[in-house]
Amino acid sequence: MIHIKFNRLRAATRFMPVATLLVLSLGSHAQDRPQKLPTTQLTAGLHLIRAEVADDDREREIGLMHRPSMAANDGMVFVFQQPGVQCFWMHNTLIPLSAAFIDDTGTIVNIEDMKPQTDDSHCSKKPVRFVLEMNKGWFDKRGLKADSVLGGALFKPAR
């Protein structure tokens, strides 16, 4: 009887490493797919932007990773609780992007073009709470640059 219990225990535990690896691989696969987040509407003059909102650490960390493409007026806005110098990179990001670093009033501080799948750091030139990523060249094609103002419920009106 002891021998039977031991064999059952041994048989059950033999598959534990495989089950553990399966669970771990399923968990890591979730971050290998694009995330889909709630959206907000932003404006840049007459242009409408549909921006997914990344407002917690995990959402900001994943960002636009693993997306093969993005619609012309779609983007992602990263929202931080406090203003700070924000730095972005393109690890696992497949499409070229332009990032606008934006202050509380919606004013663009600076815009950085970023190459896909690089670890180069692109930072705001001063503390900001928002970063809007769009397809590379989106801001330039619309004549938007530092000191241009975006609109939307996220931003406080300038005084």
Q: pTM for the complete prediction? A: 0.80
* Helix extents (H) in 2-158: 2-14, 16-29, 57-62, 138-141
- Residue 3, CA distances (Å) to 7, 9, 10, 13, 27 in order: 6, 10, 10, 15, 37
> What's the total number of domains in the chain?
2
pLDDT of residue 33: 85
**Calpha distance 90→96 (Å, rounded):** 9
pLDDT digits (tens, 9 = 90+) for 9-42: 444 444 444 333 333 334 444 467 899 999 999 9
Same domain for 73 and 132? yes
CA 120 to centroid of chain Cα atoms:
16
86 with 21, same domain: the answer is no
Q: What's the burial of 143, exposed, middle or buried (CB within 10 Å: 0-12/13-18/19+)?
A: exposed
- Regarding whether 122 and 99 lie in a shared domain, the answer is yes
Reported in sequence order, the residue ranges of the chain that DSSP labels E, i.e. its strands, are 39-44, 47-54, 74-84, 87-88, 97-102, 108-114, 122-123, 128-135, 151-152
Q: Is 20 in the same domain as 73?
A: no
Q: What is the CATH number of the domain that holds 85?
A: 2.60.120.1140
16 vs 126, more confident: 126
φ, ψ of residue 151 to 5 degrees: the values are -115, 160
Give the contacts of 38 (CB within 8 A, at least 6 positions apart): 52, 53
pLDDT of residue 159: 64
Residue 80 sits in the same domain as residue 61? yes
* Overall average pLDDT of the 51-59 stretch: 97
119 plus 109 within the same structural domain:
yes
In a domain, 21, yes or no: yes
Instruction: Kindly state whether residues 122 and 61 are assigned to the same domain.
Output: yes
Burial of residue 30 (CB within 10 Å: 0-12, 13-18, 19+) is exposed
Same domain, 42 and 12: no
Domain presence at residue 157: no
| pLDDT confidence tier of residue 6, bands split at 50, 70 and 90 | very low
Query: Is residue 158 a part of any domain in this protein?
Result: no
- Is 83 in the same domain as 18? no
Mean pLDDT of 114-140: 98
Q: Which domain holds residue 26?
A: 1-32
On whether the CB atoms of residues 129 and 82 are closer than 8 A, the answer is: yes
Of 155 and 25, more confident: 155
